[in-house]
């Protein structure tokens, strides 16, 4: 299976972000003819306060980002794992950070809402409070893509290995991580965490990232980029250059089977909760 990862520098102009996403998908189709395309986290809107995020959020399945991804998937006959968008909720101040996936006919085949929310203070003192605007999801999601089972995750989820073990337990052989890692955390943690999740789950790990600056609360913030594809042995097999663009690779399901046969970690896993001394 041929895959393409889209790397973007989204801002607070939703219409401009959607135009750029469409242009990059068209470029991927023209240059690499992928079967499956992955966009980054919040490709439709980055930055702004809670009020601006609510204004940019759309009802699913009726919004412009939803319709655009649906139409592009059907027009080009490809799967589109549409990173994540801001999803408006009925009678709720907060919104969801939501992945939508469309098959070759433009049918929605999966919807995942980000579970772990980015509430941290960075080393430079910058505070991130995603939970002020975002409501967490409550479901572990996989879907079938022509013989490949794809697991869904978003950005900060990367730091919580239990989610990825759950995805592997549900049959995932490839995991998608749309992201918008900060420059400070990305330069130290991005590669090692992505490789760790691939090695632990013995899956292909595909991470499409935001790159460059965006404005948040009147200040400029920097995302790390470096979108990458990692094989089940933990090798980085493709990496995006700096800046907006794309990177493509091939996924071989037989590689997953071979790695799992060499080191069958799933069959060796012990239920630690049954052991004495395990915290409850």
- Which positions are annotated as active-site residues? 41, 114, 155
C-beta of residue 176 within 8 angstroms of C-beta of residue 151:
yes
CA distances from 192 to 6, 11, 177, 248, 255 (A): 21, 27, 14, 21, 21
C-beta of residue 40 within 8 angstroms of C-beta of residue 206:
no
Distance CA 80, CA 71 (A): 10
Distance CA 124, CA 214 (A): 17
Residues 95, 187, 162, CA angle at the centre, nearest 5°?
Answer: 55
Torsion over CA of 169, 150, 148 and 245, rounded to 10 degrees?
-150
Who's near 244: CB < 8 A, 6+ residues apart? 7, 8, 9, 20, 24, 211, 212
CA distances from 130 to 22, 58, 112, 116 (A): 27, 18, 17, 9
CA 219 to chain centre: 25
Distance CA 175, CA 149 (A): 8
């Amino acid at each position: 299976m041929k895959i393409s990862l889209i790397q973007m520098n989204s801002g607070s102009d939703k219409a401009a972000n959607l135009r750029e996403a469409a242009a990059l998908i068209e470029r991927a189709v023209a240059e690499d003819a992928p079967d499956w395309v992955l966009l980054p986290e919040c490709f439709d809107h980055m930055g702004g306060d809670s009020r601006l995020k609510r204004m940019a959020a759309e009802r699913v399945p009726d919004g412009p980002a939803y319709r655009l991804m649906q139409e592009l998937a059907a027009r080009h006959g490809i799967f589109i794992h549409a990173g994540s968008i801001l999803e408006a909720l009925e009678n709720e101040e907060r919104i969801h950070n939501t992945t939508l996936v469309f098959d070759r006919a433009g049918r929605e085949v999966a919807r995942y809402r980000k579970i772990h929310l980015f509430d941290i203070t960075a080393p430079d003192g910058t505070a991130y409070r995603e939970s002020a605007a975002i409501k967490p999801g409550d479901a572990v999601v996989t879907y079938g893509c022509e013989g490949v089972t794809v697991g869904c995750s978003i950005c900060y989820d990367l730091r919580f290995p239990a989610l990825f073990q759950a995805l592997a337990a549900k049959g995932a052989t490839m995991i998608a991580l749309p992201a918008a890692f900060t420059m400070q955390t990305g330069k130290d943690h991005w590669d090692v965490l992505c490789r760790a999740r691939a090695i632990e789950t013995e899956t292909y790990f595909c991470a499409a990232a935001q790159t460059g600056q965006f404005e948040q609360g009147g200040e400029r913030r920097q995302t790390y980029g470096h979108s990458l594809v990692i094989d089940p042995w933990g090798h980085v097999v493709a990496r995006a250059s700096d800046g907006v663009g794309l990177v493509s690779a091939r996924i071989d399901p037989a590689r997953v089977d071979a790695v799992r046969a060499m080191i069958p970690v799933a069959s060796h896993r012990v239920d630690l909760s049954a052991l004495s001394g395990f915290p409850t």
